[in-house]
Amino acid sequence: MYDLAPLARFGGLVATDLRDVTHDPEALDSTGFWAVCADFEGRLTCARFGDVRKAPVPAAVPGAWAGPRPGDWTSSLDRAAYTAGVRTVREHIARGEVYQANLCRVMSAPLPDPAAADVDALTALLAAGNPAPYAGTIRLPAHGVEIATASPELYLRREGDRVSSGPIKGTGRTAADLLPKDHAENVMIVDLVRNDLSRVCETGSVAVPALCELEEHPGLVHLVSTVSGVLREDEGWPGLLAATFPPGSVTGAPKSSALRIIEALETAPRGPYCGGVGWVDADSGHGELAVGIRTFWIDRPLGVLRFGTGAGITWGSDPEREWEETELKAARLVAIASGAYESGAPDTDVAGASGKAITR
């Protein structure tokens, strides 16, 4: 397995010839092309590659990815625990401690042949079965980073001194499924992202050019907003990450209170799920990081594949409906990774809702 060469794929580019690996965000303002992974818990890995070229994701090769069996997935929170967590979040909201908190669970399944597992082969399946605007791959097995993401959500885009974020809140199978609660939670998170960017942007430059726009993705729809600003001259990637991480859409508002509640209720670390995954071209001053949702990662020491799913909880949340939202977000992707996805089949009941649970 460790013979797999380091590699990264983003936006029609493939990067090879690994030169450096660091955990220092200052590197992103130096030189070269960097693949970036920031775990939700704060571990940052930046990998500089020497060869970056245009290349489409290769077509999926039958048998190249041997994923878990569909029935082997377990969840860090089963249905009962998750719905109880939703009720607890609503109690915190009733006490005025938080307006919204994103409650997540981590799904896991053993790989049948961990030594042969290659996230780049999984990437090919995801590209065919669930194309996404911020899809990407980082393969650094010697450094504990093996990620394949089909993220639909922009965490940070930087073009010189211009920065923007595209928070997603509000999910349904169709637009008709979206409720006033979905619009309300989107607006809450937009306000949080505005506040985060204001910490490092020029006064008066932070704006919301798009609010609650409907986006269609495979099997579901989202409400998406855009928040932008002009980075201050004395700020770079370290300050930008410090001001905005973890992303507001996967934490809650106020962020500090939401993080405290998340820590108490969730039983497994999120890892790269809900973190940041993407690339930075330090030479041009451009970069694009996705929120690490719809993301798989290999836990090499345990020989398992992991995937995270969650939902934003507000006072208007129904516990069972929020559970079903986490199932909807996971269903299609978990089926693809397990070799059980059939085009045209409904995206239901394949996300491991058996009630089996894993713990930290």
- C-alpha distances out from residue 193 to 119, 173, 197, 207, 315, Å: 31, 26, 6, 10, 20
Coil, strand or helix: which one is 268? coil
Q: How far apart are CA 334 and CA 138, in angstroms?
A: 19
Q: How far apart are CA 285 and CA 304, in angstroms?
A: 37
C-beta neighbour count of 79 within 10 angstroms = 19
Q: Specify the DSSP class assigned to residue 143.
A: G
Q: How far apart are CA 342 and CA 328, in angstroms?
A: 15
Q: How far apart are CA 104 and CA 311, in angstroms?
A: 6
Residues forming a β-bridge with 163: 158, 229
Both tokens of 306, joined, read: 């992991």
For residue 292, the number of C-alpha atoms closer than 13 Å in the C-beta half-sphere is: 32
Q: Would you name the residues annotated as active-site residues?
A: 153, 169
Both tokens of 166, joined, read: 């595209």
The DSSP-derived string for 24-71 is -GGGGGSSSEEEEEE-TTS-EEEEEEEEEEE-PPPPP-TTS-----GG
Extract the runs of DSSP E, i.e. beta strands, from 266-303: 276-281, 286-291, 295-299
Give the closest residue to 230 by CA, choosing from 240, 238, 221, 245. 240
CB of 7 closer than 8 Å to CB of 14 = yes
Give the closest residue to 130 by CA, choosing from 329, 350, 272, 348. 329
Element (H, E) at 81: helix 79-94
H-state helical runs in 201-254: 237-244
